[in-house]
Amino acid sequence: MEGKKTFNIQSDKQVYTIMNEDNTIPIVEISGYDLDFKFNMDKINGLEDAENITTSLAQIMFKLLTEQLIIERKQGQ
């Protein structure tokens, strides 16, 4: 059986937001409880490795965004 963990509704929620150019409207929000980002620092040896990782993360986000766009466009038809 999986263990249970209790979270405070506001103070435990982590939120990462990307704002529009005017910094007035959020356009992306990543949020949740117990978000965990782990980088294998033993394998990241310089800026080139860091750039490759961020490029890969951007590709993942682009995939998620396009999937959501397709779903919402289908629902709107």
49-76 pLDDT, tens digit per residue, is 999 999 999 999 999 999 999 999 999 8
Higher pLDDT among residues 77 and 29, named by residue: 29
Is residue 1 predicted with pLDDT exceeding 90? no
State residue 7's pLDDT score: 87
Q: 8-26 pLDDT, tens per residue?
A: 988 999 999 999 999 999 9
Reported pTM = 0.70
Q: What is the 3-state secondary structure (H, E, C) of the chain?
A: CCCCCCCCCCCCEEEEEEECCCCCCEEEEEEEECCCCCCCCCCCCCHHHHHHHHHHHHHHHHHHHHHHHHHHHHHHC
